[in-house]
Amino acid sequence: MANYFQSLLLLTIILYTTSMTLAQAPAPAPAGPTNITKILEKAGQFTTLMRLMKNTQLSDQINTQLNNSNQGMTVFAPTDNAFSTLKAGTLNSLSDQQKVQLLQFHVLPIYLTTSQFQTVSNPLRTQAGDSGSQLNITTSGNSVNITTGVVDTPVSNTLYTDGTLAVYQVEKVLLPMSLFGPPSPAPAPGPLKKKKAGSDDDTPTTDDGSASADASGGVVCGGHLHGIYVGVIGIIAAFYL
C-alpha cells in the first residue's frame, strides 16, 4: 500500500511539473510582416539595390503598401553585378527624384506569377507611372525577357513569392526611356510671314521677327528703293526743263 501511495505521489509531482513547464514555454512567434529588405538580404548579391532602396525610402514604401492593402506587387531585382556594368557615373548623375523614378521602374503594381508572364498584356505600367516608364515582357518556352526600349534582360531566378509579392532576379538594371532614351529633336523653324500692309516695312520675316533675304543675298528694303526711283525721275525731269 505504501508503495502504491508513493507511486501515486510521484506521478502527481511529474504531471504537475510537466504542466508548469508547458505553461511557461513561449508560444510560436507569428509570421512577421513582409519586408523587401530581408528578402533581398536572404537572397544575397543585392547590396547596391538595398542601399538605393534605403536611401530613397522606397523599401519603406513597398513594405507599407504590402502590409496595409490588398494590392499585389512584382519587383524586378538587379544584382550587384548588374549595377557594376552600368556606365561609370550613371547613378551619381541622377538627382534624388530620378533615383526614385529608376527604382520605381523596377516595380509593377500587380502580382505576377511566372505562368502569368505568358499571357500578360504589353506594355506594362510600372510604379514610375508616365508613358516613358513602361516595359514589355516576352516569353519563349520557360524563358522570360524584359524590354525597356533601352535594355533587354532575362528574368533569371525567382527570389520570393507569397501570393501577394513576387521578387524576380534580373541580370541588367532596367533603364526607362524617360531617363535614358534619346533626347527629343529640336523644333523646326516657323514659316515665313509678311508684315501687314501699310506698315513702315513690308520685308517678309520669319516667326522670330528676322528679315528674309532676297535671291541676291541682300535684304529687300522697299522704302529705300522707292526713294531711289523718285530721285532718278526728278533728275531726268530737271534735265529736260
10: in domain: no
Count Cβ neighbours within 10 Å for each residue of 14-44 and write b for 16 or more, e otherwise. Answer: eeeeeeeeeeeeeeeeeeeebbbbebbeeee
One domain for residues 135 and 217: no
Choose the final residue of a domain: 148, 180, 212: 180
Q: Compute the distance between CA of residue 66 and CA of residue 59 in angstroms, rounded to an integer.
A: 11
pLDDT for residue 132:
73
19: in domain: no
One domain for residues 40 and 153: yes
> Which CATH number goes with the domain that contains 176?
2.30.180.10
Range of the domain at 215: 193-241
One domain for residues 47 and 166: yes
pLDDT for residue 232:
46
One domain for residues 52 and 113: yes
pLDDT in tens, the chain (241 residues): 555 555 555 555 554 444 433 333 333 334 578 899 999 999 999 999 999 999 999 999 999 999 888 889 999 999 999 999 999 999 999 999 999 999 999 999 999 999 999 999 999 999 998 767 899 999 999 899 999 999 999 999 999 999 999 999 999 999 999 899 887 555 656 565 655 555 555 555 555 554 444 444 444 444 544 455 445 455 555 555 5
150: in domain: yes
One domain for residues 159 and 206: no
From the CA atom positions of the chain, what is the Rg in Å? 38
One domain for residues 169 and 220: no
pTM for the complete prediction? 0.65
pLDDT for residue 182:
80
Task: Count up the domains in the chain and report the number.
Answer: 2
One domain for residues 77 and 131: yes
pLDDT for residue 33:
84
One domain for residues 157 and 230: no
One domain for residues 42 and 113: yes
223: in domain: yes
144: in domain: yes
Contact 127, 108 (CB under 8 A): yes
One domain for residues 125 and 238: no
One domain for residues 82 and 110: yes
